Amino acid sequence: MGTAVELINGWILPVLAGPAVGSFLGVLIRRLPAGRDVVLTRSACEACGHVLTPAELVPVLSYLRQRGRCAACGARIDPQHVWIELAALGIAIVAACAVPGGPFLWLSCVLGWWLLALGWIDALSFRLPDVLTLPLIPAGLAEAAWFEPASLAGRGLAATVAFGVLWLVGFVYRRARHREGLGLGDAKLFAAGGAWGGISLLPFAMLVAPVLTLLYAGTLWLRGVPVTGTTKLPFGPFLAAAIWMGWLFRP
């Protein structure tokens, strides 16, 4: 019986929750940067205002059954919703593979989903909203206080150092190039990385995030998009991905 419970808690629940959480994140990603209410307004077709029925709210499957169109007016549904649901599912699957079941699996999923929303919003709007970055810092420290009290001071120090390092990089860049390179949002996100992963996460993320950003610039270039020294590239999605990897595979 023990193994059945482990299987349900360690695999089935997170993997079932993934697309449902992704569905909520899709709403959050669209509404939060626009200053719209995230929780109380019911989901509706953006073309005709038709309020979605429970059958139209099933993650991924509703989209596939309706062939990506509104059931009432036939308007095309933004496929991003499905990609976010699939990404949230992917996060649950990767976490379930990397972390044994129990509280750390759920923490890994929640952190991954949170970072997914942040990265996606940054990719769309070049903004990392404070309302999402800042709570991650005390959340990481609370995780340390609860599960690894001995690491709390180190994690607090890591958060401070992380913020300072990216703030300094942004400051030097502004002085040298007279334009915005790294925003404070990136520094706050990196501070959250320090709060969750401690000091060892910082060099890892500082190596992986720029490499991912360069790979992304490379794919843009291959697709014929001109990439120059002044091309605006979001750093948040890659920093978020690096933080999550650093957390999952921390020593």
List contacts with Zn ion (CB under 5 A): 45, 47-48, 50, 70, 72-73, 75
Which pair of structure tokens corresponds to residue 162?
């992380």
DSSP string across the chain: -HHHHHHIIIIIHHHHHHHHHHHHHHHHHHHTTTT--SSSSPPB-TTT-PBPPGGG-STTHHHHHTTTB-TTT-PBPPTHHHHHHHHHHHHHHHHHHHS-SSHHHHHHHHHHHHHHHHHHHHHHHS---HHHHHHHHHHHHHHHHHH-GGGHHHHHHHHHHHHHHHHHHHHHHHHHHSS--S-HHHHHHHHHHHHHH-TTHHHHHHHHHHHHHHHHHHHHHHTT----TT-----HHHHHHHHHHHHHT--
Measured from the CB atom, the residue of 45 and 96 that comes closer to Zn ion is 45
Measured from the CB atom, the residue of 70 and 109 that comes closer to Zn ion is 70
CA 115 to chain centroid: 2
Nearest to 125 by CA among 244, 242, 237: 237
Q: What is the smallest separation between the CB atom of 50 and Zn ion, expressed in angstroms?
A: 5
Q: What is the smallest separation between the CB atom of 51 and Zn ion, expressed in angstroms?
A: 10
Q: What is the smallest separation between the CB atom of 84 and Zn ion, expressed in angstroms?
A: 20
Measured from the CB atom, the residue of 70 and 158 that comes closer to Zn ion is 70
Q: What is the smallest separation between the CB atom of 163 and Zn ion, expressed in angstroms?
A: 44
Phi, psi of 84 (to 5 degrees): -65, -40
Measured from the CB atom, the residue of 68 and 154 that comes closer to Zn ion is 68
Measured from the CB atom, the residue of 52 and 184 that comes closer to Zn ion is 52
Measured from the CB atom, the residue of 72 and 199 that comes closer to Zn ion is 72
Measured from the CB atom, the residue of 50 and 127 that comes closer to Zn ion is 50
Q: What is the smallest separation between the CB atom of 25 and Zn ion, expressed in angstroms?
A: 22
Q: What is the smallest separation between the CB atom of 80 and Zn ion, expressed in angstroms?
A: 17
Q: What is the smallest separation between the CB atom of 76 and Zn ion, expressed in angstroms?
A: 10
Which residue is listed with tokens 């709210």? 57
